[in-house]
Chain A
Amino acid sequence: MSNQFENIVEGQKKIMDFWSNLSQQMTSSFKPKSDPAEAGQELMQDWYNKQQAFFQEAMKTDPQQALEKAPEHLKQYMELQSEFTQKWAEYFKENAGKMGMQFPAMEGFTGYTNPTQYFQDGMGHWRKWMEDGNKWLNEQVLEKMPFNMRPHYTNYLDTYNFMSRYWEPMQRLIKNGLYDANMVEQYFSADAYQKLINQMMGFRPVGNTSDVVDNVNKWFEKYMNVAKGQGQDWSSVSEVWKNKMDEYMSTGKVPFFEMASELNQRLQDQLAPFNNIASQGRQTEISKLMQDIQFQYIAFILKSAEMQTKVYEAGQFALPDTVRDFSEQYKKEQEMPDFQAFFQHYVNTLEEALLDILHSAEYSQLQSEVSALGTQMNHQSKRLAELMYADMPFLTHSEADDIAKETSTLRRKVRSLEQRLAELEKGMLLGGKPAVEKTATAESGGSKKKLMDKIGPAAAADADDLKKIKGVGPKLEKMLNELGIYTYKQISKMGPAEYDMIDELLGAFQGRAKRDNWAKQAKQMI
């Protein structure tokens, strides 16, 4: 939203500048030689009072009402300015001949010593009013958005504002035709540029490599402490780690994967006897998991940094390219774009560049590795937490998993039994044994009579909405109606024997009446 408001403020500023300049020019033409001009004084005072009243009125209401009235207010404001300018011009014309006339004394304006100051204050009011409205509007938009879409929108706002801060230098670049590729480095810090792309792409920055190294070191130390607690001598691995670190850091090159796998191997060698002795122990698994997580973490961070670097590299020429395009246009037509057009062009150029990299096999591979590492690490961490809390009375992921597995097996079994049952029923009917159905009908005739004797008859005209009873849907309601059951009163008289009869009569929805205790529900409905 900021763009619209900024445009308005921007336009307003230009109008203010225009008037401000005009009045300065006009005032300068009044040479302070003659008597103070009463008329001029009055004119200024009148103008001041009107403006004061206008702003008081315009800022009185809440942002929404104020904005609704904004077109009207702005029109009024414009009229006010035009009126003043006109009067001033008349006044000027009238008095211009009288050389030596003094400029009306400014002391009459409470607190104002010159018109420029006055205009700037007016401008400040507008700006504040716009900013408040802007804030309010953004909040409104966010409130109406689903919560998981909100970060996308705030990211966009941040990005837009971030870019607009560079708009002044960008304009100078466009005018001067500077657009070399180093521009990104010159005008954006590496961090700022990363932040920009991160916001656009929804990436989270991994930080710089030395932070990663520090992090990994911390992880490693933590891990060593846990492992030490298990009574092993880890000094050699620790030392290797430290030496490798010192060695590589001094050269500025850190071949992590090579190093990580070497250390991993050493750790495994050292852990082997311990794991063998205590192969059943939870501690063993914990220590193994921590080891895995650590190396997955290193790999994840680095792979993801590599992936993000690819994206940054792809996007780095989008900005200079955008400046170049507009700069060439400026050379030809001497016309500057507005910020929105610039931003739009930048976004399109950036997308083109990004799509190039997103389509590459290299990126696809990296993305796959990053997501696999990330999810695996997440999984291992959960497993670790589960092991740590294994003695607590929680339902763990693995237990829930067992239940899910069991549920699925049962679901499949039910399905195959249902299908088998359907086939058998069909076979019996086709096999010239309609007796099954007949018997059922005969029996159900008996059951139905017994059931109706107990619950009593009812007419369709008195029907209650049986769907209000939990467990009864439109289908079941229809079946009940067909049996002659229409009212809560009838259902409230049911007991276990009647539930069984319902099951028998309907064939479907077995056990539902009992499970949901229909009679009790129906009693509450009456």
Chain B
Amino acid sequence: MTTNNNPNISDQILEQVDTVSDAMRNIGGVQDVDIATAPREIVWEDGKVKLYHFSQEEPAVAKTPVLVAYALVNRWEMMDLQPNRSFIRKLISEGMDVYLIDWGYPTKVDRYKTMEDYILGNLNDAVDFIRGEHNLDKINLLGVCQGGTFSLMYSSLFPEKIKNLVTLVTPVDFDNEEGLLFKWAKDMDVDAIVDGFGGIIPGDFLNTGFDLLKPMNKTRKYMALPQTMADKGRLMNFLRMEHWVADSPAQAGETYRRFIKDMYQHNKLIKGEFELGGRKVDLKKIKMPALTIYAKGDHIVPPATTKPINDLIGSKDKELMEFPGGHIGVFVGGRSQKLLTPAVAEWLKERD
């Protein structure tokens, strides 16, 4: 309130009362916060890991299905957070046949689960299952963030099984000082932390790290809450995002230790020093068509950590695509719906 006597003060108050009244009606009416609503079925599972096949009303235009591999950090539901802005739904409506691997929620019994178990085990099994179902030698692989790093490793070891490779906001060059996570991970005493947590890294530990990247983000978000809540749609999206953030799975200790050490601290992948199950991972062996997407304003995986993929792989048919937004905007932003997802589908269909 300004101190000068505003003749329209009662209008202002009325407007505010309207806002609060709408907010109250909206929040009172919230029954259930729905996320990941695209219809799907579990077609394969192994312990905590599941493979989903998303249902489609029309038969897919593309004959090669695409397998989505999300990061171990946070949940894949980000790809289908809001029904009206779902990356998965959009991909399907663009004519793709979509599978997704759900890594599940690791518990203590998974503390010795290694990157080999994830990539040579789970990911390879899922790829083989889809190949078998569709009677195809090769399928498409779409890796997201850390899941993209896994996908690069996998495609280098099993190029005969992957037709096209798409990586979304995927870190590959970890020698970066610009991203705080990259800086902090270099100083991290990961042995002490993995052992200290008894081999299973709680999701809250990771979330605190993400929070500190923009320490006042939450405050700003909560300040805007009355206005957010006055709009039913925005309120639901706020709650969906809160639920997604809160639902942060723990990390299997050995995989976490290896990823921090070999990737963040020693940057082994791009140096050609990384080995998986005794086999050297050579990015030059990736020869299939590859699409690399980075987000211009990404503060979690800065563009500089992603872009080198395009130079490091052996593919002749390759493309680097910039998305004008942040890490999360890639999945839920309006521009993602309008520009990015159709472009990905188009790129894949051209190479079907």
Which of B23-31, B60-68, B145-153, B165-173 faces chain A? B23-31
Contact with A along B1-25 (1 / 0, CB 8 A): 1111100011011101111110111
Instruction: Please count the residue pairs between chain A and chain B whose beta carbons lie under 8 angstroms apart in the complex.
Output: 214
CA distance A474 to B50 in the complex (A): 13
B117 touches A408 (CB 8 A): yes
A residues less than 8 Å from B205 (CB atoms):
371
| B220 contact set on A, CB distance < 8 A | 344, 347
| Closest Cβ–Cβ distance, residue B65 to chain A (whole Å) | 16
> Mostly helix, strand, loop or mixed at chain A's interface?
helix
Is the Cβ of B189 less than 8 Å from the Cβ of A369? yes
Do A156 and B222 touch (CB < 8 A)? Answer: yes
B242: CB under 8 A from chain A?
yes
Give the A interface residue count (CB, 8 A): 86
Contacts of A361 in B (CB 8 A): 187
A22 interface residue, CB < 8 Å from B? no
A450 contacts the other chain (Cβ, under 8 Å)? no
Which residues on B are within 8 Å of A, measured CB to CB? 1-5, 9-10, 12-14, 16-21, 23-25, 27-28, 30, 33, 41-45, 47, 108-114, 116-117, 120-121, 180, 183-184, 186-189, 192-193, 195-199, 204-205, 208, 211-212, 214-216, 218-220, 222-223, 225-226, 229, 239, 242-243, 245-247
Residues in A whose Cβ lies below 8 Å from that of B21: 67-71
Of A142-150, A179-187, A244-252, the one contacting chain B is A142-150
- Decide yes or no whether A267 CB sits under 8 A from chain B: no
15 A-B residue contacts at CB 8 Å? Answer: A1-B20, A11-B12, A11-B13, A75-B14, A156-B222, A202-B208, A358-B180, A358-B212, A378-B196, A379-B198, A400-B108, A404-B111, A404-B112, A408-B117, A475-B44
New A-B contacts (19) at CB < 8 Å, excluding given A140-B28, A149-B242, A412-B121: A4-B19, A8-B17, A8-B20, A74-B10, A74-B13, A137-B20, A137-B27, A156-B219, A200-B216, A201-B212, A350-B216, A351-B215, A354-B216, A364-B184, A371-B189, A371-B205, A375-B192, A376-B192, A378-B196
Q: How far apart sit A18 and B6, CA to CA, in the bound complex (Å)?
A: 12
Say whether A411 faces chain B, with CB atoms less than 8 Å apart. Answer: yes
Q: Does A159 contact B (CB under 8 A)?
A: yes
User: Given A133-B20, A358-B215: A8 and B187 within 8 A (CB)?
Assistant: no
Contacts A7-B1, A347-B220, A382-B198 given; indicate if A149 touches B14 (C-beta within 8 A): no
Docked-complex contact A71 and B14, CB < 8 angstroms: yes
Inter-chain contacts of B45 with A (CB < 8 A): 473
B196 touching A376 by the CB < 8 A rule? yes
Asked if A343 CB lies within 8 Å of chain B CBs, one says: yes
**Chain B residues whose C-beta falls within 8 Å of the C-beta of A4 in the assembled complex:** 16, 19-20, 23, 226
> What B residues does A335 contact at CB under 8 A?
2, 4
B17 — which chain A residues lie within 8 A by C-beta? 8, 67, 70-71, 74
**How far is B23's CA from A140's CA once the two chains are assembled, in angstroms?**
10
